[in-house]
Amino acid sequence: MSLGVVRFFRCLTNNQNLPENSDHCPSLPQKEVESPPPLLSQLSPTSLAYLGDAVYELYIRCYYLWPPRKISHYHSLVVEKVRAEYQAQQLLTIYPLLNEKEKEWVKRGRNAVNRSPRGSLPLKVYQAASAFETLLGYLYLCDQNRLHYILSQLELK
Which residues are marked as active site?
A: 53
The most distant pair of C-alpha atoms in the chain lies apart, rounded to whole Å, by: 50
Are 56 and 136 within 8 A, CB to CB?
yes
DSSP track, 116-153: -SSTTS-HHHHHHHHHHHHHHHHHHHH-HHHHHHHHHT
Alpha helical stretches, state H, the chain: 3-14, 45-63, 71-81, 84-94, 100-111, 123-142, 144-152
Are 70 and 24 within 8 A, CB to CB?
no
Q: At what angle do helices 144-152 and 3-14 cross, to 10 degrees?
A: 150
CA–CA dist 111, 128 (Å, integer): 9
